[in-house]
Every structure is written in C-alpha cells, then in structure tokens.
Amino acid sequence: MNESPVLAIESSCDETAAAVVVGRRVLSNVIASQAEMHEKWGGVVPEAAARAHVEAIVPVVRNAVMSAGLRYSELRAVAVTNRPGLVGALSVGVTAAKAISHTLKIPLIGIHHLEGHLLSILAIEGDIPFPHLALIVSGGHTELVAVQAPGGYNILGETRDDAAGEAFDKGARLLGLGYPGGLAIQNAASSGNPNAYPLPEGLRKSAYEFSFSGLKTAVNRLVDSTPNLNVADAAASLQETIVRSLSRKALEAVEELGYSALSLVGGVAANQSLRDRLQAGCQRLGIQFLTPPLSLCTDNAAMIGLAAVTRLSRGEQDSLDLDVWPNSELPRLLAI
C-alpha cells in the first residue's frame, strides 16, 4: 500500500476536499472552501454546507485525480472522513467514496478527522518519532494527545469549554474582522501591540486542561468599554493570550512526560506566532518540533490519505455499509 495511489475525501465541515497520496507523498491536495458563503452568517450553516458539498464534490475529486497526473483506473484505495463532523456534510463525502469504491472495485476506508490532523505530520520529510505528544488545535478541538504510534492515541487533556479556533473566531467577530477569524486576527495582529490590552489566560495553573470562554467574555467587555479601541492592538493582545496559554501548557506537558518530540496540528497550527513560540520552546528543551506545511493545517484531504495509508498497510478496510458518526472519540487502542 506504501507505493499505491490512495484517493482521499474530506467533507466534515465547510471545506470540500480531495487529495491523492502515495505513501507519505502528497501528489495533489484540492480544496473548495465555503468560507465566503458562511461568512455572511458568521459561522457554518449545516444545511447550506451539505448542499454546497453536493455541488463541489465531483469536480473537486476529478481535479485531485487529474492534478496528481493519474487516471481513475490507477487508484488503489479510497479513504474518506466518516467521523466526527456535520452529519449531512459527512454523508456527501462518504456517499461519493462508496460510489468510487464500488465502481473501481478498490478498498474503502473510513478515517477519524482528528486522526487525519494527528498524522498530517507524515508529510514532513524524515523520521517521525513515536511516541510523541501532539497539540491538536482546531475550530472544534483543543487537545493534548499522546500519539503512541499511528492508530494508538491517548487524550491527556482538552478544553473545558471553547476550542482555541473558536476563541479566534469569536474574538474576530467581536472585533468586526469577519469569519473565519484565525487568519483575520493574525493579519490584524501583525501591526498591533500584544501587550496593549491585558486579557485573562484561562486555567493558568492546570497543565492539561484549557479554557477559552472567559477570553471571549473579556474581549466582549473590552469592546463595550473602550470607545476608541485600537483593533490591531486588540487582535494582537487576543492572539498573544491564546498563544501563551497553548504554548505554556504544551511545553510543560512535553517536558513533564519526557517525550522527545512535540507536534502541532489542526487549523490553528497555521498561526505563525504559535508555530514560532513552540519552535523556540522545543529548541530550548532540546526536543524535536513537528508541524505540517500550512496547506495541511486547516482542513484538507491529504491528511486523511496519510492516515489511511497507515491503516490500509495494516490490512484494515471498511465495507460499503460504512456509517457516518457526528460525534466520535479518537481511536484509543492500537489496531495492530
């Protein structure tokens, strides 16, 4: 399976994505984003997302196969995110993957979205040390995960309330910077002073738990009580508070647990300030810092393909009655 082209599909939220991977090489990675459509609502509307996936899925898959320089007949397996996510959105990808599996008579495999994020680092050149500690930061999750090996994960801590991506998105909405908020905050922050407006760092003393809901309340209060708010300074202060909280805890945890590497994955891993802070922290601790290229941080299908290769090479596959699961825990036990 390591040298066979695998087509992967991801449609769990608001990106319709398809990719082709061979082993750890990403041959194509195509993404049709619905962000513009959801922007006017300030968030993802599930029904509209599902309909947009229906329209985009066929051209996106075709584009992924063609830009990999392949014909459909050269694909050896099809992988798809089947959990967790919006049920209507997931169903579109899973239905397409089943049709492709049935028509081409190739194996089908369902992948957990977070396993995709965790294994997105396989796209980096060089050896990936296992076990290592992972910080997953996305729109729906903020978790510290012990990655024993591909397929074996142990959640060591998570957020008590909002995810880090939600903190960026809600903060951006309060500051009038639009949706999705992470990149908008990063851009506005580049000309701001991160120490201008002190904001609370949630659960400062607890190493393995995060909390970001107080931050949203504090930004709300700041906006209401500051007539001439400097938006760049507010964005920089918000980014600094989130980055400080995430990096402090991840570095404390990795040091305490004695792992030789820390990975940073998920949409918020695209944040340059967070990447720089963790890179510097890992260097200080003398451990390896692993993070995928920006194109593999926010939702994409290449990471689903990379995770699928590890499962297919262990002989796993699913049948055509593969289900979708809107809620689902990360696979905990090694299926070797």
- Residue ranges that bind Zn ion, judged by CB under 5 A: 138, 299
- Contact between 180 and ligand KG4 by CB under 6 A: the answer reads yes
Q: Which of 5, 107, 116, 139 is the binder for ligand KG4 (CB under 6 A)? A: 139
Out of 81, 142, 298, 310, the residue judged to bind ligand KG4 by CB under 6 A: 298
Task: From 30-38, 245-253, 264-272, 311-319, give the range in contact with ligand KG4 by CB under 6 A.
Answer: 264-272
Nearer to ligand KG4, 13 or 251 (CB): 13
238 binds, options ligand KG4, Zn ion, none, Cβ within 5 to 8 A by partner type: none
CA distances from 297 to 30, 100, 244, 277, 294 (A): 14, 26, 20, 17, 5
State yes or no: residue 165 binds ligand KG4 (CB under 6 A).
yes
Helix or strand (DSSP H, E) at 27? strand 25-33
Shorter beta-carbon distance to ligand KG4: residue 186 or 247: 186
Nearest of 315, 278, 220, 298 to residue 35 by alpha carbon: 298
Nearer Cβ to ligand KG4, position 4 or 33? 33
The answer to whether residue 186 forms part of the interface with ligand KG4 (CB under 6 A) is yes
3-state secondary structure of 236: helix
Minimum CB separation of residue 12 from ligand KG4 in Å reads 7
Give 85 or 281: the residue with its C-beta nearer to ligand KG4. 85
CB-CB contact of 250 with 91 (8 Å): no
- Asked if omega into 200 is within 30° of 0 (cis), the reply is no
Binding site partner of 197, from Zn ion, ligand KG4, none, Cβ cut-off 5-8 A by kind = none
User: Residue length, the chain?
Assistant: 336
Which residue among 66, 87, 183, 232 contacts ligand KG4 (CB under 6 A)?
183
Distance CA 230, CA 236 (A): 10
State which of residues 153, 168, 197, 259 lies at the interface with ligand KG4 (CB under 6 A).
168
Residue 34 in the binding site for ligand KG4 (CB under 6 A):
no
Smaller CB distance to Zn ion: residue 115 or 299? 299
Cα 306 to Cα 10, 236, 280: the distances in Å are 12, 34, 27
The minimum distance between CB 212 and ligand KG4, in angstroms, equals: 11
Burial 210-236 (b: 16+ CB within 10 A, else e): bbbebbbebbeebeeeeeebebbbbbb
Q: How far is CA 115 from CA 42, 142, 313, in A?
A: 28, 14, 16
Q: Which residue carries 């090996």 as its tokens?
A: 149
Site residues for ligand KG4 per CB under 6 A: 13, 138-140, 165, 168-169, 180-183, 186, 266-268, 270-271, 298-299
